[in-house]
Amino acid sequence: MADQSIPQARTPEATRGAPDGSGPLDTGGATAHEGISRRRLLGTAGATGLVLGAAGGAAGYAAAPSSAATPLTSLGSERVMFHGKHQPGITTPMQACGHLVAFDLAAGAGRKEAAALLRRWSDTARRLMAGEPAGTRDTSVARDAGPSSLTVTFGFGHSFFGRTGLEEQRPVALDPLPDFSSDHLDKSRSNGDLWVQIGADDALVAFHALRAIQQDAGSAARVRWQMNGFNRSPGATAHPMTARNLMGQVDGTRNPKPADTDFEQRVFVPEKSEQAGKNEQAWMANGSYAVVRRIRMLLDDWETLSVKAQEDVIGRRKSDGAPLSGGIETTEMDLEKTDKAGNLVIPINAHARITRPDQNGGAAMVRRPFSYHDGFDADGVPDAGLLFICWQADPLRGFVPVQRKLDRGDALSRFIRHEASGLFAVPGGAAQGEYVGQRLLEG
């Protein structure tokens, strides 16, 4: 898990200057050597985002809102376009909040009902991603917020094609994943006819989208399972950096990047592919395949290890993500380097060694996960881990060979458990005036 995850980060709000670019945000005229009166504190707390400590908490809570209009912060104003070559939420920078939800079509619902549903969903997603109300039934949950980098992404599961009479259009790449030795899968929380990924940098905006999508399903589909996740918020670190997971590890150093010359061919289905002879993937042009896994981290066991032992499991330093062979985070691993005793510096079963593309025939995927925490078991063990989501042009050449190799001897496998799984075909983006999946459902 440690070596492939979207590393993009936004410029932190903490380093932003005043609106005119002259320097730090104004604090109401007080210099570092002047006291701030209670009245001035109350007047500026809302405008500057000043966080009050315990002594000032009551005062801050009671402060009346300023009469002056406050513009959206960069967090709220970020907008992702719905229409495009690819669906949003694949190369979009990681968001702070996420919801994953799978639906099954209702009994008796078929291709016609699925098309109407995707039309409704696409219209709702377009509106919400622009920061507009969902429609006449909008709940006003996100009324005061901007788009907040909201993305809504739609995919089709293996069972969708049988339910809609489109078996001949089912891609070979959507064949069920093989069984893996690390699997402890809950079938009720796996797969599904339809899959929706929602991400945003504001929790209310994300929930608003989730509720709107669920309401739009109406009588056509019912929720099969739903999972909630989170990441570090943009601006929470002093400078942009690769994310950390709940094990405290820098997670995502070697993820393919859109600037890579082979990024498109690794991640997205080409308009003309080797498998297009039967036209089975024609409707998937510019789309991608998402593997979704709920991976529980056995944190109580992990946290008993020393930092050195944790680093040996991963193959990277915990402090900065640099390989144990030396350098900085982006330094290439020296897989042959040994210590004075002749032992490999990066252990043979280290997670970062096993997941390297050059150790897996070039297999690569874009990992874009969310962390999750669903409370504690009766014995106090945290139910927490990773909502693993990876994107590739073909899972049989991306996820599957890497997971098979991890099954055979990954040091990290002792500390994780795969509890749910799904594979979904995510078609290309919708053009203006189209809905997602139209080429499949009306082709």
Q: Strands 366-367 and 288-297: what pairing?
A: unpaired
Annotated active-site residue in 251, 312, 394, 410: 251
AA letter at 343: N
- Is 383 a known active-site residue? no
CA 358 to chain centre: 25
* Residue with token string 């109401």: 28
Active site amino acids: 251
